[in-house]
Amino acid sequence: MILVTGAAGFIGYHVAQALLARGDVVLGIDNLNDYYDPALKHARLAQFDGRAFIFERCDLADREAMLALFARHRIEAVVHLAAQAGVRYSLTHPHVYAETNVAGFLNLLEALRAHPVRHAVYASTSSVYGANEKQPFSVSDRVDRPVSLYAATKRANELMAHVYALQFELPLTGLRFFTVYGPWGRPDMAAFKFTRAILADEPIDVYNFGDMKRDFTYVADAAAAVLAVLDRLPLPDGSLQHRIFNVGNHRPEPLARFIEVLAAAIGRRPRMNLLPMQPGDVKETYADIGELQREYGWSPTTDIETGLASFVGWYRTHYRV
């Protein structure tokens, strides 16, 4: 049995489906909070085949509940994707990030300490690179200058994982995801917000006056990276069992081109509301994925033309527009 935390979330849903497709039994947990419309989370859960998928509503911040979960189930491996996401939300709701991303991660690590598994893979983020100007971002780059509390909490996760791997020999691997998008995506992310606005003939908010680039990563590629890493320990026995890898498309796309491709897939011309840079945001992200390619044979396969067409197709079907 493989535990997927945040199974009702965007990446969690796709990872759980990929695990089920290859024959694994999946225990999914989620607290189903209202950061965005819980109806979308329930709709994701409704897609699962209940025979091999077990769902329990559980909050990472509940220490006793997490320990009881591990005591109740025979968990062999963990994919930890539950987190309070969003850079801008962290400006107004800081305590949620401390409770979920820091205390919640600590509760998971303690549960793993009490009930060891063969491997635990956890989600980090490209946001840990902060305003790094060196391109592309490498896992060997400095990550001690975050520009948002969200990024700080995810960097804290990486440091906590390092300590638990060192002190308790827990096998842990962190994945720094770069701007994941695709079907069943989050409503607070660009593809979703832009699509909703364009279809409603409303202007889209474009920050830094459009002068931005993002390493957009299609969700199926991200899920494939998780499975590839999950199946093999980070380092040979006897070594520190903690590694970190970038998961990106290795191709920063100008935001203007992203909007152009998205609008073409929708079939409508967008209206843009050009705005200055938001606090906590960065101008450009670009993933160096060389280590993941060399060590796991993983590479992204989906360009934004294919990925955005897939997202728009799902959006129109799901929302009947």
Q: 77 - beta bridge partners?
A: 2, 119
Q: Say if CB 208 and CB 38 are below 8 A apart.
A: no
Backbone φ/ψ region at 184: left (φ over 0), alpha (ψ -120 to 50), beta: left
Burial of 37 (0-12, 13-18, 19+ CB in 10 A): exposed
Round to whole Å and give the CA distance between 257 and 308: 12
Q: Say if CB 222 and CB 180 are below 8 A apart.
A: yes
DSSP 273-321: EE-PPPTT--SB--B--HHHHHHH-------HHHHHHHHHHHHHHHHT-
Round to whole Å and give the CA distance between 70 and 189: 32
Round to whole Å and give the CA distance between 98 and 100: 6
Q: Which residue has the tokens 């593809």?
A: 191
Which structure tokens are listed for 259? Answer: 């909007």
Q: 246 - beta bridge partners?
A: 176
Catalytic residue among 35, 89, 129, 150: 150
Round to whole Å and give the CA distance between 7 and 9: 5
3-class secondary structure, 245: strand
Round to whole Å and give the CA distance between 267 and 269: 7
Round to whole Å and give the CA distance between 255 and 242: 34
Round to whole Å and give the CA distance between 217 and 181: 6
Q: Does the annotation mark 150 as catalytic?
A: yes
Smallest CA-to-CA distance from 124 within 181, 189, 186, 177 is with 177
Active-site amino acid positions:
150
